[in-house]
Amino acid sequence: MKYKISLLLLLLGSTLASAQNYLDIARLNFGNTAMEDVDGNQETDITNVNLEFLYPTPINDKTILITGFTAENTSLDFNGAAGFTSEGLTMTRLNLGAKIYHSSKWTGTYLLLPKLASNFNNIGGADFQFGAIALLEYRHKNRFRTKYGLYSSSEEFGAIITPLLGVYYRTPNNKFYIDAAFPIRMEANYGISKQFSLGADLRTSIKSYNMGGGIVDTYVQEESIRFALYAGYSFMKDQLIVRAKAGLDTTDYGLYQSGDTVGAQLLTVALGGDDRTRLNNEFVSSLFVGFDVIYRLDL
């Protein structure tokens, strides 16, 4: 391709822009786990499906228009809390922005992230949220880059603010690479053969879903950390990649009454303190299994 394009992976709901020598046009993630509450009295089966699509359009030698979407669904059981039992939490988001080459060393990725997040029962204004991300990348060498940025989003619990610090490195023999933008995501991959690889990835997000149809108006605050080891196999000259994954899921789904907020939250810390009343028990971390299907182009 005439232009070098960075992969955009957007996770915290959240997602994120990052840089490497490939572009993931489409990505499907599936995960399943069974979680107990802290009292050990109730258990729920949780299934998470995430689909991302990216379409970059070069405008000129320095600017690439970025369009795409993210769709995610999580199904779980709240066991009667606030009148909710089995629910499907759905998030759909547009990813709109541009990647700009400011100089030979510095590039910037800037995205607007409007989204709809709820259980899709009586959709209203509270279901709509708005986020944005700015990420600067400094190229030390072709194989080594550092990244600095900020992600923010309006959520039902208040505003989330997430500083980003990342790195991309690939070894000279191209067998190993690490691509990270902490605290949101990390991927490390080692090629055992041309088609088979082993690796690890980390995905985190903090987001909210408006909930309709319960006893009172509520929302769910999801704080997700999923760490996994995987084995991957590539087809079609490394364009199609399938990965089997297993790891630890520490995601919590807190149910709160609408209007009960914390103001601004930096990462997972409420800057003004958190005196909300939670309507359900906390979830305990558990093992999960899953798979990824990725359509990738090398640049």
Phi, psi angle pair for 48, to nearest 5°: -125, 130
d(CA 56, CA 96): 10
d(CA 291, CA 134): 29
Average pLDDT of the chain? 88
Assign 298 a pLDDT band (cuts: 50, 70, 90).
low
pLDDT in tens, 68-85: 999 999 999 998 888 898
Assign 16 a pLDDT band (cuts: 50, 70, 90).
very low
pLDDT in tens, 200-256: 999 999 999 999 888 889 999 999 999 999 999 998 877 899 999 999 999 999 999
* β 263-266/269-270 pair status: antiparallel
- Domain ranges within the chain, ordered by starting residue: 8-298
Mean pLDDT across 48-77: 93
Model confidence at 196: pLDDT above 50: yes
Mean pLDDT across 104-111: 94
| Residues composing the chain | 299
Specify the amino acid at residue 86. Answer: S
Range of weakest confidence among 4-8, 24-28, 123-127, 142-146: 4-8
Model confidence at 153: pLDDT above 90: yes
DSSP string computed for 204-260: EEEEEEEE-SSSS-EEEEEEEEEEEEEEEEEETTTTEEEEEEEEEE--EEEEEETT-
User: What per-residue confidence (pLDDT) applies to 7?
Assistant: 30
d(CA 249, CA 35): 9
Q: Which residues pair with 156 in a beta bridge?
A: none
User: What per-residue confidence (pLDDT) applies to 159?
Assistant: 93
The CATH code that applies to domain 8-298 is 2.40.160
